Amino acid sequence: MTGLHTTLLGDSGPRIVFCHGLFGQGRNWTGVAKSLVAQGFQCLLLDLPNHGRSPWTDHFSYSGTAALVAEELDRLGSADSGTTVVGHSLGGKVVMHLALDRPDLVDRLVVVDMAPVRYGQVGGFSRYVAGMQAIDLTALTDRASADAQLSAAAPDPTVRGFLLQNLRREPGAAGAWYWQPNLDLFAREMDRVAAWDLPAETSPYPGPVLWIAGAESDYIRPEHAPAMRALFPTARLVTIKHAGHWVHSEQPTVFTQVLAQFARSQ
C-alpha cells in the first residue's frame, strides 16, 4: 500500500496534525488550518485510509489505521516545539489509538466529540452508505440528480452536502462518476467503526489531552468520563456552546482559539 494523501500548510512552527471523521477528508480542516498557519503553526491534513485520495484497505481497524498514520508521521520527522494530533469522530478514535500505541509521536492529543467506547448510533451512517451505493453512477447525469436521489437516506441538506463532497468525476465531458470512500468496506464493517477494542495490558497515555465536546451533541456523555480518564488521565473536557457533532465546522472561531491555546501550552 502506498502512503496516505497529505497536505502540509505552513513552513515551520509547532505542528498540528488533523484526522477527519467518517466520510470526511483532510481538506475539511482547511479553514481551521489556514487560521492556525497565520498564527505561526504548521498543519498537516491527512486523508485517512479508505477516504479522499488515500488508498483503500481490505479491512478496517482502528489500530491498523493508526499504524498507517504513524508511518506518515515517521516519514515527516519531528517538528519544532512538538506535535499536537487532532481527531474528530472516527478520527478521534484513530488518534486515541495512535497516542496509546505510539506516544513518542504525540506530544499533545485533542479528541473532538468522541469517546473511547463502543457506539450504538451507527444506523444513520449505515443508511448513508446504502443511499450512496443505491445511486447508479453509470446513469448519473449531474450532481443535482445525485442530491435528489440521496435525499431519502440523508434528508438534512447539510449532511447530504457533506456526503456529496465525496462524489467525484473523472476528467473530460464523459468522465465516469465515482465515490472516493470505500463504501463496500464500510457497508461490510460498520460494526468495527462503532467498536472500541484494546489489549488488556494497554498503558495510559501520559501526555496532555484536550477533550472537546459539542454542547448539542450526544457523542460525549457523563458516563463516558471514567473510560476516557482511565486511558487519558490528564484529559480536560471543554464543551463548546451552539455546536453539535461537527464542532470545528459549526463553531470554527471558538474551536480554533481553544486549539491554538492548547497547542502552545507546556
Q: Which residues are catalytic?
A: 89, 184, 245
Provide DSSP, the chain.
Answer: -PPPPEEEE-SSSSEEEEE--TT--GGGGHHHHHHHHTTT-EEEEE--TTSTTSPP-SS--HHHHHHHHHHHHHHH---TT-EEEEEETHHHHHHHHHHHH-GGG-SEEEEES--SS--S--HHHHHHHHHHHHS-TTT---HHHHHHHHTTT--SHHHHHHHHTTEEE-SSTTPPEEESS-HHHHHHHHHHHH-----TTPPPP-S-EEEEEETT-SSS-GGGHHHHHHH-TT-EEEEETT--S-HHHHSHHHHHHHHHHHHH--
Cell numbers 519531528 correspond to 78
